Structure 1
């Protein structure tokens, strides 16, 4: 089952994806109970590579397109109603007389936007929309209902339409330390030992743990 049966149920994304153009890290989840579709057919939109689209056509072989990917890090939280727009809607040419994607010319109009990247420990709030080719930085938070049209820096809270920075979650020194530690890439047993700090403690406490338990063992 790829759909959630209750609002309290979540699905680990790496366990439910079938599209080869989607990659997801460990423990990243989708809480999709209130959405009408599954992760690949509701949250992620216009991305060739699911079972049905693979049976219908192959734009890589037939039209030579280089398709964008969706890359999701570890411990990412994606709420119900989030929309991640991908590559299937790039054929509307704003610099031509008509924006209509005529079948006769559609093979030549596609332009990649670049991979959409949601880095580790990011949180996408309910009904947020991520436009194609966006990078959401580590530890960033996208407020509910936001429309993200630009990259989001690590550990930054953004909101609105279009989404704008609201605040930094930590000061610059702490962000630098977090990005150097990359706790979300540690082995799970080490993370479990550090959970009391990760879930409540200060960045400096976690950095002390990192120096003692990670750097000192290298």
Structure 2
């Protein structure tokens, strides 16, 4: 065996609180990479889509999540449909209540639009995190529990708090540059299996940078 079946909803049948969300029924404007999992001890992890709020197809914004991400319970993705018009005196959305108020229905161009929300590969998102519209989170980043992410996060950076702020980089700039070129998440199953010790140990990065990577499958 070279690892769990990436095409199964529950990679470990003995743990029904964790599922590979790329195997959920596909949803318009949501893209999820292989091996990315959602863990929820309070409700079925199959309800992951409930955490994507105010996501309306007519707006066209996407939620894109990379491979090998770890997403904990309580995650909330706030999409562009939550935005109110802000160029007038009031932000109150009169139009949605009708009864004549619909005469001030804004055009799409008048609504704030932050673009797609994009989560990179190998990102760890802790419990009860809220991610606001248009945020970009780089590969290898970590978001601390109970954070509200209002601005983009760089690769291999750790953010936490409300609003989430930069805490530190996980590695030096040299190592981050190496990892972004390495893109281990795009390796095939056998190559990942043969290099698991390097990928998960404290000394593994140094070994990879010193050209001791298993190259038998190149």
Confirm or deny a common fold (TM above 0.5): yes
The match for 1:184 is 185
The gaps in structure 2 that reach 5 residues or longer are: 1-8, 97-101
The match for 1:136 is 137
The match for 1:79 is 72
Secondary structure of the corresponding residue to residue 162 of structure 2: coil
CA contact (8 A) 1:71 1:116 kept: yes
User: What do you get for the CA RMSD once the two structures are aligned?
Assistant: 2.5
Matched, 1:203 2:205: yes
The match for 2:89 is 97
| TM-score for the superposition, normalised by structure 1 | 0.81
Equivalent-residue separation in structure 2 for 1:209 and 1:93 (angstroms): 55
Equivalent-residue separation in structure 2 for 1:35 and 1:129 (angstroms): 18
Which residue, 16, 34, 41 being the options, matches 1:33? 41
Following TM superposition, by how much is the alpha carbon of 1:84 offset from its aligned partner in structure 2, in angstroms? 1.0
| Moved >4 Å (runs of 4+) | none
Secondary structure of the corresponding residue to residue 77 of structure 2: strand
Secondary structure of the corresponding residue to residue 195 of structure 2: helix
CA contact (8 A) 1:30 1:39 kept: yes
Following TM superposition, by how much is the alpha carbon of 1:8 offset from its aligned partner in structure 2, in angstroms? 6.3
CA contact (8 A) 1:194 1:209 kept: no
- How many residues were matched structurally? 196
